[in-house]
Amino acid sequence: MNTDQPSLATTQVSSCPATPAADPLDFGTLASAQRIDLVQLPSLKRNVRRWQTAHGGRASFVEAHELDILDVVLRFDAGSRLDGDSPGLAAATLYMLDQGAGDYDAQGLASALEDLGAQFSREVHADHATLSLRCLATPAVREPAVQLLATLLGRPRFAASAMDKIKARLLAHLSQLDSNPASVMQRAILTHVFADHPYAAHVNGTTAGVQALAAQDLHAFHGRAYSANNVEIALVGNLSFAQAQALAQTLSDALPQHWAALPPAPPQAYEATRRDWPGAGSTQAVLAMPLPLRPDDADYETVLLGCDILGSSFDSRLMSELRTRRSLTYSIRVTPTLWRAGGVLKVEWDVAAEYTEASRRLVLELIDCLIEQGPSPAELTRVLNQRVVQLLLKAARNDQRAAWLTEHGQWGLPADYLAEHLDRLAAVTPQQVAPALRRWIDTRRMSFFSIGPQAAQQRLPDLDDA
């Protein structure tokens, strides 16, 4: 049974677990690892060239001659937030682009890309639709691959037979979501946090919305949202700057012209609530609240590291307390998700049904402890190293570099943002974490959602019994 309550009962923090004091860089007897210096972080500075195409699009380029590879990413402001009264419009339009274009049907496009050894992918999100191409940078491969991409982007067929297949796939996916209680809960969370805002809708739309889509709807959406001045283009690979400019212009010339999406409107007012759904097995629990944080906010890096301290790894505070010490859960994670008009912070875990309420109170208490007292230097160093290593591993991939360039461009971030981000991460101190978290996170404003069996609630077992 669904229940709605006007507010959440919160707990007063009576005591906080001691913050870890051990040195997270102690590699024991690993002689080779002892020579690793994780304090001196490598530079991520690359020579990023930015310009505007003749049709108003934004383009970025990084020369990378280590491999004879080219990565191209186009990020259109064409996400599901633009669906309007046609839920599923953005998703269907994107998925139809490679189902026939110009002189090629879907099989012809796939075969032509395969013959060139080129890799093509696309994905849709609330704020954007992204298309990616990876191929050899040698002209004999690069030029026909780029022409295929230009045809796919600029001359889609939107044939009725192909559209029926795409709609059937979208409907099957939506049906699976509707029959999965956990997915229903996740969608309800967004509906509450982003009430009456496009972010509340699923990126693939609704069953009724997809069923109602017609080919002319997709044509019209493509003619606007896939405009040449509504896109960020990024190129990373073994090219000269002049070649990159020509390639970007080729893609820009192929696109519709003279339309750009307006910035997304901010969400409306939010109030904390509680909702519980019946379900089988263990309880899936989620605490959630709006997080209108942006990558260019002064607190951005500090809040990210604070969330990592709470729940990003096996050694995080929530995992250490709920799993290692108390055996209450298999996994608990803290996830800040950011969109251009505002994001959401979620804390998610599984727990035995009889400990749902007690675990909720414990999680809130642990969050309040960090907000009040901050982390130890060892905790901050550990999560900094983990985040930096993940960042460096991703930065080693040119396709990831290209994706970041388009993302940073759409956020309006500077060309050298990645290097600045790394420097700001390294500059965060333990003393900065608690004040930053207090500015962005308030446990009294966290809504609670759960799905699981109804059970009489029990207090947490003693640590000796856990």
Percentage with pLDDT > 90 across the chain: 85
Instruction: Please state the rounded mean pLDDT for residues 349-377.
Output: 97
User: How does residue 15 score in pLDDT terms, banded at 50, 70 and 90?
Assistant: low
0.85 exceeded by pTM: yes
Instruction: Please state the rounded mean pLDDT for residues 266-290.
Output: 94
Q: Is 40 a residue whose pLDDT tops 80?
A: no
Instruction: Please state the rounded mean pLDDT for residues 63-81.
Output: 96
User: What digits encode the pLDDT tens for the residues 446-462?
Assistant: 999 999 999 999 999 88
Instruction: Please state the rounded mean pLDDT for residues 297-306.
Output: 98
Confirm if 74 and 257 have CB atoms less than 8 A apart.
Answer: no
CA distance 112 to 98: 12
Q: Is 16 a residue whose pLDDT tops 90?
A: no
Pick the more confident residue, 39 or 115.
115
User: What digits encode the pLDDT tens for the residues 200-253?
Assistant: 999 999 999 999 999 999 999 999 999 999 999 999 999 999 999 999 999 999
Q: Is 30 a residue whose pLDDT tops 70?
A: no
Instruction: Please state the rounded mean pLDDT for residues 309-338.
Output: 94
CA distance 99 to 107: 8
Q: Is 143 a residue whose pLDDT tops 70?
A: yes
Strands 58-63 and 231-237: parallel
Query: What domains sit in the chain, N to C, each tagged with a CATH number?
Result: 53-254 (3.30.830.10), 270-452 (3.30.830.10)
pLDDT for the residue numbered 45: 72
